Homo-oligomer: A and B are copies of this chain.
Amino acid sequence: MSAIYHISLRPTRRDDVAAIIAMLADDHLGRARERLEQPLPTLYYDAFERVTSDQNIHLMVAEEGGKVAGCVQLCILPGLSSQGASRGLIEDVCVACDRRSRGIGEKLVQWALEEARGKGCKLVELLTHHTRVDAQRFYERLGFSRSHVGMTIRF
């Protein structure tokens, strides 16, 4: 697929932030959570600074034809358990609605898995909303198992 569509991955830049928020907001769960205004609220840029200043957090975008088509965030989490192996946590996997089914999500998640493995992780984990049945099938196809219950609390 990549041979046809020329998908490339790179670290996120500050001028990608609006495109990422547009993707996150174009979703039945994301719509209510984001503020897709012009100009984009500065709180998103403040968050971008926090992300880039944390060396254990990696926010990547997929580009297709010079446009941001997807993103993934990988967090490398040190910890004592499992013989002190760091864990990888995948968050905010997102592909633009008009660019689905081209392997972009798979490329992003495979990148995260390789990066996590290279950083010494023995485990990569993620939470996916119980209504996202397609996402669960997608992750199972990539080798993930539904081993855990994902629990959340909102303030």
The verdict on A80 contacting B24 (CB below 8 Å), with A124-B152, A150-B125, A152-B125 known, is yes
User: What is the 8 Å Cβ interface bit string for chain A, positions 40-57, against chain B (1 contact, 0 not)?
Assistant: 010110111011001011
Which of chain B's residues have a CB closer than 8 A to the CB of A85? 47
Which A residues are closer than 8 A to B by beta carbons?
17, 20-21, 24, 30, 33-35, 41, 43-44, 46-48, 50-51, 54, 56-57, 59, 73, 75, 77-87, 89, 91-92, 113, 117, 121-130, 136, 139-140, 142-155
Q: How far is the CA of A140 from the CA of B151 in the complex (A)?
A: 8
Contact of A145 among B21, B78, B117, B151 (CB under 8 A): B151
- Tell me the dominant secondary structure on chain A's binding face: mixed
Contact of A152 among B30, B59, B77, B148 (CB under 8 A): B148
Decide if A136 touches B149 in the complex (CB within 8 Å). yes
Which of chain B's residues have a CB closer than 8 A to the CB of A139? 151
